[in-house]
Amino acid sequence: MDTLPVASGDAAEPLTPAQLRELYSLMVAVRHLDTSAIAWQRQGIIPGYAPELGQEAAQVGSGYAVDTTRDFVFPTYREMGVARTMGVDMVAYMSTHKATWHGGLYDPLESRLAPIQAVVAGSVLHAVGWAHGQTLDGTDGVALTYFGDGASSQGDIHEALNFAAVLKAPVVFFVQNNGWAISVPTERQVAGGSVAARAAGYGMPALQIDGDDVVAVVEATRRAFAHARAGNGPVLIEAMTYRRGPHSTSDDPGRYRSLDEERDGAGTDPLERFRQRLLADGIADEAFFAGALAAAKAEEDQIRTGIQALGSRPGTEMFDLVFQETTPALQAQAANWREESEHV
């Protein structure tokens, strides 16, 4: 499905060989960090993680279209690849998985990435609000917000899509349809079978794309950004992909899907697929791939060391950072907590 007018200018420019190689390097870095994070959890370095195995093309490709000098991204809990592509400090990002800090220790304003959001469908409303602020201020930033097939069943999604369209807010809604909402498959959750089809009801253009083709993802996201930035209102992109791993490190997919179903659903690995394409087009060779993997391994080493060195935050922050001015109830809770934890 493609109901978005064809873009001109930058959005229509083909990716250069250097950009294609950069995309591959990013995908390898993300793949390696993602699989390592599962190992870290098994080793007790972090308590939990939500892997994105199989979604690297969707995440790297969409994150690549962001202009961090003016746009703002509103992620879920599974957008490590987007964060890495945007250049966010990955120790600060991973701190949320170490349970050091809710939402990550990176600076959202500087990095242009909102805190990691564990509330399903929670990030979309913030994105619409931020984007409407751009319109009120007369600035030209675009909000990129992520949600899943499962989140599309939440009422917040309707409110966000409706008001974004009514307000002509510059938002790109990026759905990663990875086939699953924990143990519930898309067909038992998304009536009509497509999230993209719903955009028509909001008078919004939509693209349903192959989310495992990184080039297709970059091109679609750039077109959507160009449309929203030009003042034409929001766009919905549904990237069809597959969650190859567990929902999180505490999930066991064997309880609800068989290995055969996994193999059928997953299709071709997006990383391997891109590798074959670069080879066939003469854009990269084995030496380049080996270099990209070595760089990814060195990077993971550094990030793991950084994560291990992270100390805990002062517990009082739980109470200090809730409201600008504290409330009597919060003060009482803080006093209780101090008595129990610090025996004062």
Ligand X SMILES: Cc1ncc(C[n+]2csc(CCOP(=O)(O)OP(=O)(O)O)c2C)c(N)n1
Interface contacts to ligand X, rule CB under 6 A? 78, 118-120, 147-151, 178, 180-182, 243, 247
Residue 97 interacting entry, from Mg ion, ligand X, none, C-beta within 5 to 8 Å by type: none
> Which 179-218 residues touch Mg ion, going by CB under 5 A?
181
The residue nearest ligand X at its CB is 148
In contact, 210 and 240? CB cutoff 8 Å = yes
**Catalytic residue (choose from 32, 198, 229, 247):** 247
In contact, 163 and 123? CB cutoff 8 Å = no
Q: Which two tokens stand for residue 313?
A: 């935050």
State which residue, 114 or 284, has the beta carbon closest to ligand X.
114
Q: Is 22 exposed, middle or buried (0-12, 13-18, 19+ CB in 10 A)?
A: middle
User: Does 148 interact with Mg ion (rule: CB under 5 A)?
Assistant: yes
**Catalytic residue (choose from 256, 257, 273, 277):** 256
User: Does 178 interact with Mg ion (rule: CB under 5 A)?
Assistant: yes
User: Does 149 interact with Mg ion (rule: CB under 5 A)?
Assistant: yes
Residue 223 interacting entry, from ligand X, Mg ion, none, C-beta within 5 to 8 Å by type: none
User: Does 59 interact with Mg ion (rule: CB under 5 A)?
Assistant: no
CA–CA separation, 6 and 270 (whole Å): 26
CA–CA separation, 156 and 79 (whole Å): 19
- The CA-to-CA distance between both ends of the chain, in Å, stands at 63
CB of 129 to ligand X, least distance (A): 18
Name the one range near Mg ion by CB under 5 A: 6-14, 63-71, 99-107, 149-157: 149-157
Starting from the edge strand earliest in sequence, which strands make up the sheet with 235-240, in order?
72-74, 143-148, 171-177, 235-240, 206-210
Residue type for position 233:
G
Among this protein's residues, is 243 annotated catalytic? yes
**Catalytic residue (choose from 84, 97, 243, 275):** 243
Q: Cβ contacts of residue 14 below 8 Å, gap of 6+?
A: none
Residues designated as active site: 243, 247, 256
